């Protein structure tokens, strides 16, 4: 035999790994990327050594914990780009991503930062799609002519940073904020 046999994890190791991923999602959702690794280990009910054995770096833990959620965010952008009405597509992207961010701070940080290196290509593709959506909405005369991709990203970053006493209050505040921001992006002649 010249090849290596696949490494099979023990069931307790698989369980620890799943608990760590669930804990990471919960802790990152509540606290964002600044959450300490020890807090994630504590939340999972394991020691720091177990955490670092499975995920040697915060980047690796984060990338695996948020892979599915990031792809859902990118799908929102793809759905907006697919809408034949670019203005409606842009509004929908801002509203849906804003609400996702209100519910999960980890996803906000993941999509808007360069932290999870595994998603750089997907994030760049999503940003290009969002830029195309902004361009199409401007060409249709529905978005202010001076609007840039950075403006939309700034709206999304601001939505992700809204603080509130409860998750429900944060969602309500983000909905209000995104409505105001969307109205600010609209071509002035179209506001009436």
3-state secondary structure 107-138: HHHHHHCCCCHHHHHHHHHHHHHHHHHHHHHH
Could you tell me how many residues make up the chain? 192
Report the pLDDT value the prediction gives residue 13, as an integer from 0 to 100. 78
The alpha-carbon radius of gyration of the chain (Å, integer) is: 20
Per-residue confidence (pLDDT) for residue 71, from 0 to 100: 82
Token pair listed for 116: 């999870």
Over the chain (192 residues), what is each successive 10-residue block's mean pLDDT? 60 87 87 88 95 91 83 90 97 94 73 59 87 96 95 91 89 96 90 53
CA–CA distance, 151 with 141 (Å, rounded to integer)? 17
For the stretch 102-136, pLDDT in tens is 887 767 666 655 554 566 777 788 899 999 999 99
Q: Hey, CA dihedral for 168, 169, 170, 171, is it positive or negative?
A: positive
Residue-level pLDDT at 185 = 96
Domain boundary assignment for the chain: 10-56, 67-190
Q: What kind of architecture, by CATH, is found in domain 67-190?
A: Orthogonal Bundle (1.10)
pTM of the full structure? 0.75
At 14 the pLDDT is 85
Contact between 147 and 138 under an 8 Å Cβ cutoff? The reply is: yes
143/136 Cα distance (integer angstroms): 9
Residue position matching structure tokens 């990203």: 153
Specify the residue for token string 């892979």: 67
DSSP state of 162: -
Residue in the block written with tokens 């429900």: 168
Fold for 10-56, please state it. Answer: Arc Repressor Mutant, subunit A (1.10.10)
């Amino acid at each position: 035999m010249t090849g290596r046999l696949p490494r099979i994890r023990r069931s307790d190791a698989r369980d620890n790994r799943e608990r760590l991923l669930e804990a990471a999602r919960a802790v990152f959702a509540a606290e964002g990327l600044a959450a300490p690794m020890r807090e994630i280990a504590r939340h999972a009910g394991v020691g720091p050594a177990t955490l670092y054995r499975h995920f040697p770096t915060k980047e690796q833990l984060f990338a695996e914990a948020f892979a599915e959620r990031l792809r859902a965010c990118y799908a929102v952008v793809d759905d907006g780009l697919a809408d034949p009405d670019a203005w409606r597509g842009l509004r929908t992207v801002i509203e849906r991503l804003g609400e996702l961010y209100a519910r999960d701070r980890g996803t906000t940080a993941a999509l808007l930062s360069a932290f999870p290196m595994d998603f750089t290509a997907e994030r760049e593709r999503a940003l290009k799609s969002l830029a195309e959506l902004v361009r199409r909405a401007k060409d249709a005369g529905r978005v202010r002519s001076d609007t840039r991709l950075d403006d939309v990203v700034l709206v999304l970053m601001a939505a992700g940073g809204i603080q509130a006493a409860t998750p429900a209050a944060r969602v309500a505040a983000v909905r209000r904020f995104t409505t105001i921001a969307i109205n600010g992006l609209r071509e002035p002649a179209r506001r009436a």
